[in-house]
């Protein structure tokens, strides 16, 4: 396994506007995320955490500084190349799930593989395996409207992991979930990290951050603290996650 960092940010800034009206959303951030780490990034509204997430996810370009994603200098890439990097190296998990409404769970999970040019038979096999891993092997034909919020988020997790990315990047992944579904999703994140996945989670919830190995707090566009600690164990996962673990 490679020992190179998954995320390597050096002196990253992001400024919006010019002159007296300019806003320094990120004001010089250094951040290193090693392979297999589990990092929660926290901060109040306006702290810069969402802007930093967009930069890490190659959804926005920094104004200055260097960003290596799995040793790839993203500053040197054109938009077409960035799209390929996002598809192959990053699995995104959003608060609002971002599933296609009239498309089955299986087809939603297959989508990034279709974009990557994977053949239909292999797409189906890999998507089925990803849905089984998140405990939804019996929901492959269901539409998002036929699934609970927690199940929809687990479909989104399956879609994020199906390409075997080097980084799972989650933006407020439990913000739209009830407490039981939150526990299930966090238990799934624990399992993914134990299996070697690298996670970066943007959150304002202590319950979510407490499960991470490391908590980075931002304020005024800067890293205020970066603390590594033993994660706090959560409540037992729901039946669906337990069933997946037992299968």
Give me 232's structure tokens. Answer: 């706090």
- 48-97 pLDDT, tens digit per residue, is 999 999 999 999 999 999 999 999 999 999 999 999 999 999 999 999 99
What was the pLDDT predicted at 233? 57
Query: Using an 8 Å Cβ cutoff, are 22 and 183 in contact?
Result: no
Say if residue 221's pLDDT is above 70. Answer: yes
Average pLDDT (187-200) is 96
With a threshold of 0.85, does the pTM exceed it?
Answer: yes
Q: What is the pLDDT of residue 241?
A: 47
Q: What pLDDT is stored for residue 231 in this prediction?
A: 57
CA gap 219, 204 in Å, rounded: 13
Residue listed under structure tokens 């702290």: 47
Give me the pLDDT at residue 3, please: 77
For residue 32, what pLDDT band results from cuts at 50, 70 and 90?
Answer: very high
Quick check: 179 pLDDT over 60? Answer: yes
pLDDT for 240 beyond 60: no
Cβ-contact 94, 38 below 8 angstroms: no
The pLDDT assigned to 232 comes to 59
Give how far Cα 68 sits from Cα of 6, 28, 62, Å.
8, 15, 12
Supply the pLDDT for residue 20: 79
CB-CB contact of 166 with 6 (8 Å)? yes
**35-44 pLDDT, tens per residue?**
999 999 999 9
Q: Mean of the pLDDT values across residues 138-158? A: 97
The two structure tokens encoding residue 78: 């054109």
d(C-alpha 220, C-alpha 163), whole Å: 35
The DSSP line for the chain is ---S-SEEEEEEEEEES-GGG-EEEEEEEEEEE-TT-EEEEE--TTSSHHHHHHHHTTSS--SEEEEEETTEEGGG--HHHHHHHHHHHEEEEETT----TTS-HHHHHHHHHHHTT--HHHHHHHHHHHHHHTT-TT-TT--GGGS-HHHHHHHHHHHHHTT--SEEEEESTTTT--HHHHHHHHHHHHHHHHTT--EEEE-S-HHHHTTSSEEEEEETTEEEEEEE-PPPP-PPPPHHHHHHHH-
Mean predicted confidence (pLDDT) in 233-242: 49
Dist CA 123 CA 163 (whole Å):
10
Average pLDDT over residues 210-228: 96
- Dihedral (Cα; 205, 210, 214, 218), 10-degree rounding: 20
- 142/244 Cα distance (integer angstroms): 18
Q: What is the rounded average pLDDT of the residues 119-145? A: 97
Q: Round the average pLDDT of the chain to a whole number and report it.
A: 92
């Amino acid at each position: 396994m490679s020992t190179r960092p998954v995320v390597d940010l050096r002196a990253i800034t992001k400024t919006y506007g010019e002159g007296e009206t300019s806003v320094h959303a990120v004001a010089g951030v250094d951040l290193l995320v090693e392979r297999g780490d589990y990092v929660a990034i926290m901060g109040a509204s306006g702290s810069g955490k969402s802007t930093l997430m967009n930069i890490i996810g190659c959804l926005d370009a920094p104004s200055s500084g260097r960003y290596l994603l799995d040793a790839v200098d993203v500053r040197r890439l054109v938009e077409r190349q960035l799209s390929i990097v996002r598809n192959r190296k990053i699995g995104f998990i959003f608060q609002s799930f971002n599933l296609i409404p009239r498309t089955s769970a299986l087809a939603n999970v297959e989508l990034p593989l279709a974009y990557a040019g994977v053949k239909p038979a292999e797409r189906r096999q890999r998507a089925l395996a990803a849905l089984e891993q998140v405990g939804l092997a019996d929901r492959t034909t269901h539409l998002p409207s036929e699934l609970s919020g927690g199940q929809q988020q687990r479909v989104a997790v399956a879609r994020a992991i199906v390409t075997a990315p080097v980084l799972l990047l989650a933006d407020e992944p439990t913000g739209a979930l009830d407490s039981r579904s939150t526990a299930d999703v966090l238990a799934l994140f624990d399992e993914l990290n134990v299996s070697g996945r690298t996670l970066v989670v943007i959150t304002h919830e202590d319950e979510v951050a407490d499960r991470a190995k490391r908590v980075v707090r931002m304020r005024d566009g800067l890293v205020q603290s970066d603390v590594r600690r033993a994660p706090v164990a959560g409540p037992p996962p729901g039946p669906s996650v337990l069933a997946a673990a037992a299968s």
